[in-house]
Chain A
């Protein structure tokens, strides 16, 4: 990392962020501070605005109101639900997309990290869905982004491949550092990967919950199950929510103040 890329400058600040599509307000006054290095998961039912939030962070869309503060020097890379590999480029050339010629060797190193070095010369059409997502992950990480945005990247994969990908994403994120924002409808995935989970409901942040379970996480562990259960119940019950249940053993935190706790 270059000296001018001091970690703190890559914090992200959202202030009263609004987004409307015609008459429909998709995001209402979102306030959010994402400290550099945090793995944030955004969960919620479909249509809750979580993908819109991610597109705003990616700069693919512009807010209608409020402020979104991202350091212009923050390299942001996005991984989509479909791999979006260019079918006319070899696996290696896909990873090297947008890399200057002198840095091409890094593409092979990135492929090695996701365990697909031996498929470098293949066409993407020859790979399985899970392999394509691994290539897409390598393509995102080869740029060493300070902010990695993941838009349901595992949504289309089978359960087994999804678990493998989760631990791959976790280990690569731990190795590379930087912030990550994962949008998912899978509460278990959010608890497995994130330092912090926010639940969006009708375009508002309904829950902001830190996850302090030690890594690597065990989805059978009682604290994991409790958190997952709580979030799932909270997603299911909808906006007219009740008080959260007694926090899990090591999660004795005042939920109302979570927002500022980080």
Chain B
């Protein structure tokens, strides 16, 4: 009777088996004394460091700050990317005007402009938001453009011959048709947002997870450094998971998603 439930729980836990084994091995190596705690502290010590920071409220503060930066920066970058992608995907003139410029900017690694950004904004919030927005704009832009341009021309022809024009055509055909591609862009951009944020916070910040790690390094607190790294991994996974849930809702019609059900 409980077999299907058990197997469904098993299915959910299975992806976590490898991470759990790695942590277990790591703890065993540390307990056996094969790992220098200056190089890599035991998971148990990392957990303790995490607990101490949680109690003092520091962890929540830094997490909140990082989360806010990633969210706002991503929000700005992705919205701009979506808007520009729609403009250049929907109109040839828009593409002619925008695409060359964006393709040039796209090839600048976001972190290469970090010195300039610090000169402009100091180590203010604006600097981090600017960098995250800059890094997330292009994946969303490119995938939006691509999604629109690879729409099935047969569907567009059908919709036009059924009298759909302008806004109705966009809402019922173009946007949903481009959505799978846009979602790919969003997932990719979220990954990039974290990477940029880590580096920016490590180099120029006085709060956030990156700052926590950089500060701990100054005092040789390897456990807190490792904790920060693990937090990034978990946060990244968490964000990706929520986007996937969103995807499953928005793209429920997609044959690839139906096959998984």
Contact = CB atoms under 8 A, between A and B. Distances in A.
Interface of A: 58-60, 76-78, 80, 82, 84, 86-89, 97-98, 123-126, 139, 143
A59 B157 CA distance: 11
Interface string B154-195: 110111011110001000110011010000000000000000
A98 B163 CA distance: 6
B15 interface: no
A29 to B, nearest CB: 26
B242 interface: no
B258 interface: yes
Contacts of A76: 161
A58 B161 CA distance: 8
B24 interface: no
Given A86-B176, A88-B177, A123 B157 contact: no
A87 B161 CA distance: 17
B163 A86 contact: no
Given A84-B157, A89-B172, A123-B252, 6 more contacts: A60-B161, A82-B154, A97-B164, A98-B168, A123-B258, A125-B253
Contacts, number: 54
A123 B257 CA distance: 12
Contact of B255 (A59, A84, A87, A143): A87
B254 interface: yes
Given A86-B173, A88-B177, A78 B253 contact: no
Interface residues of B, number: 21
A86 B173 CA distance: 7
A123 B173 CA distance: 15
B163 A88 contact: no
A87 B254 contact: yes
Contact of B154 (A84, A97, A143): A84
Contact of A86 (B155, B161, B251): B155
Nearest to B163: A98
Of residues A58, A78, A84, which shows the largest number of chain B Cβ atoms within 10 Å of its Cβ?
A84
A88 B155 contact: no
B170 to A, nearest CB: 13
Contacts of B251: 88
Nearest to B179: A88
Identify whether the interface residues of A are mostly helix, strand, loop, or mixed: loop
Contacts of A123: 252-253, 258
A179 B234 CA distance: 64
B222 to A, nearest CB: 50
B172 A86 contact: yes
Contacts of B176: 86, 88-89
Contacts of A97: 159, 162, 164, 172
4 closest A-B pairs by beta carbon, nearest first, are A88-B176, A84-B158, A98-B162, A125-B255
A78 B173 contact: no
Of residues A59, A76, A77, A123, which shows the largest number of chain B Cβ atoms within 10 Å of its Cβ?
A123
Of residues A97, A124, A126, A143, which shows the largest number of chain B Cβ atoms within 10 Å of its Cβ?
A97
B154 A89 contact: no
A85 B19 CA distance: 43
Contacts of B252: 123
A142 B155 CA distance: 18
A123 B176 CA distance: 14
A47 B82 CA distance: 42
Contacts of A89: 172, 176, 253
Contacts of B172: 86, 89, 97
B162 A80 contact: no
Contacts of B164: 97-98
Contact of A126 (B159, B161, B258): B258
Contacts of A80: 154, 158
Contacts of B179: 88
B25 to A, nearest CB: 44
Contacts of B253: 87-89, 123-125
B98 to A, nearest CB: 27
Contacts of B168: 98
B257 to A, nearest CB: 10
A72 B168 CA distance: 22
B155 A125 contact: no
A78 B161 CA distance: 7
Nearest to A78: B161
Contacts of B258: 123, 125-126
B4 to A, nearest CB: 23
Nearest to B158: A84
A59 B172 CA distance: 22
Interface in B15-62: none
Contacts of A124: 253
A143 B161 CA distance: 12
Given A86-B176, A88-B177, A125-B258, A60 B162 contact: no
